[in-house]
Amino acid sequence: MLRWIRQQLGFDPPHQSETRTVYVANRFPQHGHYIPQRFADNRIISSKYTIWNFIPKNLFEQFRRIANFYFIIIFLVQLMIDTPTSPVTSGLPLFFVITVTAIKQGYEDWLRHKADNEVNGAPVFVVRSGSLVQTRSKNIRVGDIVRVAKDETFPVDLVLLSSDRADGTCHITTASLDGETNLKTHFSVAETSVCQSVSRLESLQAVVECQQPDADLYRFVGRITVTEHGEEIVRPLGPENLLLRGARLKNTKEIFAVAVYTGMESKMALNYKCKSQKRSAVEKSMNTFLLIYLGILLFEAVLSTILKYAWQAENKWDEPFYNQKTEQEKNSSPILKFISDFLAFLVLYNFIIPISLYVTVEMQKFLGSFFIGWDLDLYHEETDEKAQVNTSDLNEELGQVEYVFTDKTGTLTENEMHFRECSINGTKYREVNGKLVPEGMTDDSPDGSRPHLIGEELLFIQAVSLCHTVHISYDQPDCLIGDPFSHSNGFSSNHMEYYASSPDEKALVEAAKRIGVAFSGSSGDSLEIKTFGKLEKYKLLHVLEFDADRRRMSVILQTPSGDQVLFTKGAESAILPFSTSGEIEKTRLHVDEFALKGLRTLVVACRHFSPEEYMDVDRRLNGARTALQQREERLQEAFSYIEKDLQVLGATGVEDKLQDKVQETIEALRLAGIKVWVLTGDKHETAVSVSLSCGHFHRTMNILELLQQRSDNECAEQLRILARRIKEDHVIQHGLVVDGASLSLALRGHEKLFMEVCKNCSAVLCCRMAPLQKAKVVRLFKTSPEKPITLAIGDGANDVSMIQEAHVGIGIMGKEGRQAVRNSDYAIARFRFLSKLLLVHGHFYYIRIATLVQYFFYKNVCFITPQFLYQFFCLFSQQTLYDSVYLTLYNICFTSLPILVFSLFEQLVHPHVLQNKPGLYRDISKNALLSFRTFLYWTLLGFCHAFIFFFGSYILMGEDTTLMGNGQMFGNWTFGTLVFTVMVITVTLKLAIETHFWTWMNHFVTWGSIAFYFIFSLFYGGIIWPFLHSQDMYFVFVQLLSSGSAWFAIIIIVITCLFPDVVKRVFYRHLQPTSTQKSQVLGRHGELLL
């Protein structure tokens, strides 16, 4: 009923259709009972909380954590039953942890609110009631006509209606969306491009029908219906008509466009990605240890309860003369009494679970992540890019990587293309001084002359100059605003610069210009080239855009002579099978030769249409482009129909230079025990050549191949042959090359066999890979029985799925956009920075957090075990050993800062030594510092120290308690305080022994914590506090310190605890030093030499 009412009121559309109808300027139809569709407003909301829901929502999220939930239960138990400790002892630490976390999350959300308000309050101009009105961005509605001026950012997703240019085009940059800085041309339809003033727009009657909001930045399907003189004209709309929120207007004075997607429905907002919750190996170990300690806690509570009732079996202990039972106690249920006692013991021992561990780990990760951004060795001066951290939760995982999966283009290489060679009509050419010289010939023509290309050569270079999506920017942009070809009349072409979404295209167009066929501009449906100075205009009829499935792009042009021709270029596997004429086999041979040299290859072809053929092609393309349903499928069918019966013109070879120090980085990773896989979409000859040049494959390596497998059986047989070869030649190193098709077969039914072959290979190269195949390979290793830690690194949108799949995803700030960086956990400017990120930062983060976790459990075992032992001496009466204030402040104040500072600054080995000796990375691999053996050592050490604290103090005070000079006796609070004092000093000094890298902050917090404990205790016990209803500790600490015997006991017990540890460390360091300890000596010698 409620839904029906909402539908009738227009608040809820009755059916969520697959398309949306947008009435330009919100001129809704007057006839009938039209109910406008309800669209989102234009507010961007990236915040998580509001003032009203912050407290309940934040508390709900925090209590989903097991430790927090456990402590709230303990706190409630303390409130409900008579427990030995005050509810404050559990409540205050819990309140502290939750408050600190809430303040951190609240502050982060306040920053998001602030950023949102700036964006939503930005001034914009919209056309309303026949005039231009200024309003705020958040007030824009779907259907509003928005005016955007030069260099302004688009406030919503808009369909372009008109610009100040006669052809209705505009140039934009999408750097903030995908990082591409090149100018992109967007178009308006001819019927709206004439509406260049507010008055003309006021009379425009148009309706936009388009798909519902979609996160894909490069996909938009729609149509616009313009009514002129009572006649409806329908035009298709695609991505080239859509201006995305966040993009910026360039080289265009102003544009008018209609809002189609607003606020959280804009493509930019739909691409806001909540990072997938990746959990590090350390966090998983921490949770396992917590469960073990929970088991210890339950065991101690159950044992104490049983021993209490065993003790009370004797009447003299059940009801001693000094503690008679009340009637209520005598009549109470034994089962309830047992449960009550069990809960009381649970409360008494609950501090064995360290509540502040979570908040300390969170602070350590958050603060520690700044060191990556601050590291000048990870700063790239040329691009002014520093390393950035998107997910601080995985810092320590950088020290555990076993497999690196890397992209090739733009990651190992610069993604800076240089034209080197080409093949035209079966003859190879190279560029020498701006001229094409056939292979085997030298450039002996005079410098001033430029040989004219003829026939096939000229057609090939013209195809390269015309088949692309390159745009031109001029030093004098005003020239572009009037006549786009004005530079041809005296304006030097040297002042123009090419911009392309693909570096390959830019390199080819620039090479064609050097050779003598210069692309010099486009205007609407015209392309202009200068062939050796002679101006030629081609009419652009259709563009068949590039896509990853076809792996080619085409243009259909009308030549100056009036013929229709298709030029296409793409991968050889996407062109040659569809070719029927030209030097196909020679071109295939030349493409393979180029690939062996490490060049990126493209094949160029053409097709000439008769007038009848072109009419059929035009009809098919227009039909597919105006379809609202299954448009992409229909376009693919049309493209396949058109791009056939091709005539091969030739092929190009473009060099992609390797990045600096790639070879050294891969070698360092190999020495660190990390296996490197290269996953690329390039053909296998090119990929193998680059792998050899970058050191991924060695010249001495035996290269095994799993290529062009056509069936499951064939693939399985080949894998068995490879496995046998590896076993027979186990002495030498092996490298494996796999292509995408063979990989699909291998992953389908022979995963185990494939994994076995891969694990016995030193290096693996996968070529002709689709983006999802990259992710599948990473997942295969992630889920294998050994569960190795994987890292994926790439720079393009095609690497995003791999980056998200791996345990650690790293984006390269390259030339292929920012999608990889946005979706990564860490981002660096160059591949060479990976070695320092893993070998130094990863090493440091891991040892810091591993020690932090182990130390936390150790100090809490030291803390609570004396409490358990004390019950044996007080008839399990649940008497607490420590004062409640000490219970509360132990983890919050007395022992928290030294470990936090340690976990931020500790360096076991000097950073230079770690980088120069990659083998040290192996010492911490496979979670070595958090193994069960190490955990057991720290736990048993905690129990040993706790026994020494308790029985050392007991031996001193148990028999003779008259330790005061005046004969006064020590009481139970003095005994507990002595144990606590020894404990605080010992656990702090234990961390000091573990510390290798001392800074002034380490000294300050280590000695300051001990001093703070003494000063606090003197104040707390030396003054009568009016707000405390009982003050058991009054004068206790002063009395304790006034006893020489107590001082003697403190010194003896601390030395007894720590001396064996010091001896063990010295003994092992001299007799069985680890490679890390040997390197520490090297590091010290290096510092002395410096």
Q: Which residues are catalytic?
A: 407
Residues 186 and 160: beta-carbon distance below 8 Å: yes
What element of type H or E holds 176? helix 175-178
On whether the CB atoms of residues 566 and 556 are closer than 8 A, the answer is: yes
Q: Which residues pair with 123 in a beta bridge?
A: 136
Q: Which two tokens stand for residue 79?
A: 């409130």
Residue pair 648/582 in contact (Cβ under 8 Å)? The answer is yes
1035: left (phi over 0), alpha (psi -120 to 50) or beta: left
User: Contact at 8 Å (CB) between 506 and 470?
Assistant: yes
Q: Are 25 and 143 in contact (CB under 8 A)?
A: yes
Token pair 């003309």 in the structure block, residue: 200
Are 124 and 156 a contacting pair, CB within 8 Å? no
**Amino acid, single-letter form, for residue 110:** W
Residue 944 parent element (H or E): helix 932-958
| Cβ contacts of 370 within 8 Å, gap of 6 or more | 389
Helices 281-311, 334-349: crossing angle, 10 deg rounding: 130
Q: Which residue has the tokens 């005070």?
A: 957
CA 520, CA 509: separation in Å to the nearest integer? 10
Token pair of 238, please? 């695609």
Distance CA 919, CA 268 (A): 44
Q: Tell me which DSSP letter residue 452 carries.
A: P
Phi-psi bin for 511: left (phi > 0), alpha (psi -120 to 50), beta? alpha
DSSP state of 696: S
Measuring CA to CA, which residue among 11, 112, 114, 40 is closest to residue 266? Answer: 40
**Cα–Cα distance, 509 to 468 (Å, whole number):** 8
Nearest to 526 by CA among 565, 492, 483, 558: 558
Contact predicate 604/567, CB 8 Å: yes
Q: How far apart are CA 753 and CA 760, in angstroms?
A: 11
Say if CB 986 and CB 1057 are below 8 A apart: yes
**Segment holding 431, helix H or strand E:** strand 427-432
For residue 639, which amino acid is it?
F
Among 688, 687, 656, CA closest to 816: 656
Residue among 553, 471, 464 at smallest CA distance from 509: 464
Residue 604 makes CB contacts below 8 A (sequence gap 6+) with 460, 463, 464, 467, 567, 568, 569, 575, 648, 649, 650, 651, 652
Distance of alpha carbon 890 from alpha carbon 986, whole angstroms: 13
Backbone angles phi, psi at 745, to 5 degrees: -65, -40
Distance in angstroms (rounded) separating the CA atoms of residues 607 and 542: 14
| Tokens 């959300």 belong to residue | 109
* Nearest alpha carbon to residue 771 among 722, 823, 719: 823
Helix (H, G, I), strand (E, B) or coil at 28: coil
Other beta carbons within 10 angstroms of residue 197's beta carbon come to 10
Q: What is the number of helices (H) and of strands (E) in the chain? A: 40, 35
Helix 896-905 to helix 1000-1022 angle (10° resolution) is 170
Instruction: Give the residue among 264, 278, 277 at the shortest CA–CA distance from 46.
Output: 264
